[in-house]
Structure 1
Amino acid sequence: MKPDTTLSSPADLALAPARRSRARFAILALLAIGTVINYLDRTVLGIAAPSLTKELGLSAGVMGIVFSAFSWTYTLSQIPAGLLLDRIGAKKTYFLAVSGWSAFIILNGLSGGLISLMIYRLGLGVAESPCFSANSRVVGHWFPQRERARATSIYQVGQYIGLAVFSPLLFWIIESFGWRAMFVIVGAVGLAFSVVWWLRYHEPHESRTMNDAEREYIGAGGGLSMATDAQRPFSWHDVGRLLRRREIWGAAIGQFAGNSTVVFFLTWFPTYLVTERHMAWLKIGFFAILPFLGASAGVLFGGWVSDLLLRRTGNVNLSRKLPIITGLLLSACIVVALYVQSDTAVIAVLSLAFFGQGMGGLGWSIIPDIAPKRLMGLTGGIFNFTANIAGIVTPIVIGAIVSLTGSFYWGLMFIGAVAILGAASYIFILGDIKRIELPDDTAPLKRAA
């Protein structure tokens, strides 16, 4: 028998394909941790609300406005944040954002009344505004198209799993030290992470840990950045051209619908369990975990299914749209909670609805696929601006409903109806998922003065 000489000589070994490095996954870990902290900071007010409202003397209607205040500036800042991201890049933008929002969350814990609380919530919204546009840009640069849905699902799971894991601890901190201490502790963690981000994040063209095999793999899939990518000067003409595209509106309306479900869980959910279902604090601390675990499973499952379908079929429309539409229709099942009696059944229904929202929340995986290469920040900002109007509308609508009716019945009906609207948007408005080609997008750009 002839001896096997495969790869037996130095020459053969030199010609063998190099094993790809995995530098992109270290970057993804930073995004996931940053998203956990981001959502903890924006949502701890919902956990503190029952105690905070008593101490500061705020009604349900006023608290709805306070919940909404974050989204006023968060939404209005999306386009400026996207422009900043395109000008100075992800590293500086994210560092400024994390350190800024962490400082404001600490100030939330020092609030002496309605006015100061509103000011600090408005500041928090401005500081957090670049986060998801930056996440999308980083995924678009660091991952090939075939891995983007899973990468998006992994960092997005941070917004759910963080609350699921830390909710009992946060409830314990409130019980032991008060709601103010909780804000200070969460803010301090964010400040520490901002230092880690500054030290560890870098763009693909700056990477010292990525080998040529990984670089070629990412580049072949439409990723990688250049040193000049963050130098697109702002143009209202670019904004207008993007706003005329159905792809932007279809994705944004769908994301608005999914965000409406998220906003309910991040703001009114603990109050719903206390006032509507009359659950004790310790029971809430346990039950509050389950819907967030459901959402975590949903976003991971949706990302896995999306990339699997893309590999099996090569059909971007099917692989991206099907999990999102299915998830939004599952989210609409939240209305079933109105017709079940036991606490266990209510939590099961809410967990299923939030599982669906997790699947439906993969709209960010579409942005790297449709955004013009040099306008990823601006595209993400416009998308997030329209999508996050939900953060303004939903808390106020539900707060007004509770104030007027003394019940969450029509509030849950509202969430279910909006979820169906989102599914319709992905089906009828979005159109084909492909990169938007603007006439001069590939033309040489002058360096901004």
Structure 2
Amino acid sequence: MSISQGQAAKTPPSSPAPSAPEPRPAPSGARKSRVGRYRFAILAVLFVSTAINYLDRSVLSIVAPDISRDLGISPEMMGWLFSGFAWTYALAQIPGGRLVDRFGPRVVYACALVAWSAMTALGSLAKGFGFLFGTRLGLGLFEAPAFPCNGRIAASWFPRGERGRAVAVYTSGQFIGLGVAFPLIAWMAAALGWRHVFWVLGGVGIAWALIWMKVIRNRPAEHAKVGEPELEHILQGEPARSADEGGEITTAAADDKGAFKRDMKFLLRQRRIWGVFLGQFAIASTLYFFLTWFPTYLANERGLTLDKGGLSGALPFVAALVGVLCGGSWSDWMVKRGISANIARKAPIVTGLGLAGVIVAANYVTSNAAMIAIMCVAFFANGLASFSWVLVTEIAPERMLGVAGGCFNVFGNLAGIVVPVVIGYLVGGSGSFTLPLMLIAGITVGGALSFLFLVDKVERIEA
């Protein structure tokens, strides 16, 4: 049915048939019959924002060897520093998701971006463990709404057939940002000192918040650059409704103080929700190893210092980028060819988690080139599974997307709390990374089993 036919069908029978209402102006020179592409500008902003998000949370790990030496921080204490981000990040996920549902992602994300960038910049002033740990707690607190915002925008701006790829593209920002920036940050830290890295990244984030506010809108219908053909294309399938900027379309349930408890009880009774949550813990365990201890592993276990190992350290992040793009594209390719969502969404995730267990093989090679190749395969595989956010958008009840996304991140970031601390004590006690790599491999296999057997169907739960 065309747009004009659909609008005419809604006209009361007693009224004369009007001519089709004039649509909102499309971009200059655009043809109304041609689907626009402004949603890809939205996706580009999500991509860059995610890259900045992960650079800010990962910069500590890149310069950790220098900070440990300058501030006298032990492996055990460094493990606590690495985990400090995840403590507040996990605790604030559910409140962050509620904020997104209530006020919309545009303003919530912009405020969060400015605040977490300020925390990053403050890291440059650290004189010891306490102050640096405080900045990490603040960073986690203010980054908490980021992925619930991303998931809400992706669900609102992309039809189901493009959603897996969209999630994969913006998720890949975390890897390409680190892959490109790792050598640059390593050079900056070696040439200018680690403190410069913190305030430069903080300034970049604050400047980017202005671009976010200019480009992003909560829903495509709110943006003047989205023509009617593109809007019709976006609304195919199961579009999710995004909260308006002022929260004027929030449901009565959002204002009901008891709604949150009811929603939580409902979600935690769902087997497939638990499967996704536990599987995300496994995906995040490998991710947090690379985001926290990997540079120290290169420096202390393999003798690849920042100035010598910057490029080598970047390669697994590039491999993860390729993996996450392949995972999302493979999944959408299957969806468009009529393969069931149960197979199309789960196959890349289960395959990736199973293959990521190869990381344990790094314990048995002496060549650094072979070790880097193994790490590339493991992180590529983890990237293949990392578009798992799409399962939240397709399984959780529509009105609970923000809360479900927050819970999803809580479980994922429990790995960020547990894994860095456990690795710190294992390394401090044994002086090597043999046991940590075995631990990561075991967790990834468990995650594959969780997605395979607990997530029985990939379809929206009715609430």
1:288 matched to 2:303: no
**CA distances 1:335-373 after superposition (whole Å, capped 9, x unpaired):** 011111111000000000000000111110111111222
Q: Structure 1 residue 18: deviation in Å?
A: 1.0
The corresponding residue for 1:121 is 136
Q: Structure 1 residue 307: deviation in Å?
A: 0.4
SS at match of 1:41: helix
Query: 2-side partners of 1:229 and 1:312: how far apart?
Result: 35
1:204 matched to 2:220: yes
The corresponding residue for 2:328 is 303
1:322 matched to 2:331: no
SS at match of 1:109: helix
1:313 matched to 2:338: yes
1:130 matched to 2:155: no
Tell me if the contact between 2:190 and 2:307 (Cα under 8 Å) persists in the aligned partners.
Answer: no
**CA distances 1:281-304 after superposition (whole Å, capped 9, x unpaired):** 333101011100100000001111
Query: 1-side partners of 2:142 and 2:305: how far apart?
Result: 34
Larger deviation, residues 356-365 vs 225-234:
225-234
Query: 2-side partners of 1:276 and 1:85: how far apart?
Result: 42
Query: 1-side partners of 2:387 and 2:352: how far apart?
Result: 9
Matched length: 423
1:219 matched to 2:244: no
The corresponding residue for 1:30 is 45
Counterpart amino acid of residue 225 in structure 1: R
The corresponding residue for 1:445 is none
The corresponding residue for 2:292 is 267
Once the two structures are superposed, the pairs formed by residues 66-105 of structure 1 within 5 Å of their partners are: 66-105=81-120
Query: 2-side partners of 1:115 and 1:281: how far apart?
Result: 25
Tell me if the contact between 2:81 and 2:133 (Cα under 8 Å) persists in the aligned partners.
Answer: yes
Query: 2-side partners of 1:110 and 1:230: how far apart?
Result: 41
The corresponding residue for 2:203 is 188
Query: 2-side partners of 1:32 and 1:309: how far apart?
Result: 24
Q: Percent identity?
A: 44
SS at match of 1:223: coil
**CA distances 1:407-435 after superposition (whole Å, capped 9, x unpaired):** 10000000000000100000111110111
TM-score (norm 2): 0.89
Tell me if the contact between 2:190 and 2:306 (Cα under 8 Å) persists in the aligned partners.
Answer: no
**CA distances 1:239-263 after superposition (whole Å, capped 9, x unpaired):** 1111111122111111110110010
Query: 2-side partners of 1:388 and 1:185: how far apart?
Result: 26
Query: 2-side partners of 1:259 and 1:52: how far apart?
Result: 25
TM-score (norm 1): 0.92
Query: 2-side partners of 1:166 and 1:403: how far apart?
Result: 29
Counterpart amino acid of residue 331 in structure 1: A
The corresponding residue for 2:277 is 252
The corresponding residue for 2:13 is none
Query: 2-side partners of 1:61 and 1:183: how far apart?
Result: 23
SS at match of 2:34: coil
SS at match of 2:388: helix
Query: 1-side partners of 2:199 and 2:79: how far apart?
Result: 23
Tell me if the contact between 1:302 and 1:362 (Cα under 8 Å) persists in the aligned partners.
Answer: yes
Say what the alpha-carbon RMSD is for the aligned residues: 1.3
**CA distances 1:353-403 after superposition (whole Å, capped 9, x unpaired):** 000000111110111111222221111001111121000011011111001
The corresponding residue for 1:10 is none
Query: 2-side partners of 1:143 and 1:353: how far apart?
Result: 30
Query: 2-side partners of 1:229 and 1:336: how far apart?
Result: 52
The corresponding residue for 1:6 is none
Q: Structure 1 residue 219: deviation in Å?
A: 1.1
Once the two structures are superposed, the pairs formed by residues 417-432 of structure 1 within 5 Å of their partners are: 417-432=442-457
Counterpart amino acid of residue 297 in structure 1: V
The corresponding residue for 1:331 is 356
Query: 1-side partners of 2:273 and 2:107: how far apart?
Result: 26
Tell me if the contact between 2:32 and 2:228 (Cα under 8 Å) persists in the aligned partners.
Answer: no
Residues 374 and 36 of structure 1: CA distance in aligned 2, closer, same or farther (over 3 Å): same
Tell me if the contact between 1:204 and 1:224 (Cα under 8 Å) persists in the aligned partners.
Answer: no
The corresponding residue for 2:55 is 40
Q: Structure 1 residue 17: deviation in Å?
A: 7.8
Q: Structure 1 residue 224: deviation in Å?
A: 5.3
Q: Structure 1 residue 229: deviation in Å?
A: 4.7
Q: Structure 1 residue 34: deviation in Å?
A: 0.3
The corresponding residue for 2:268 is 243
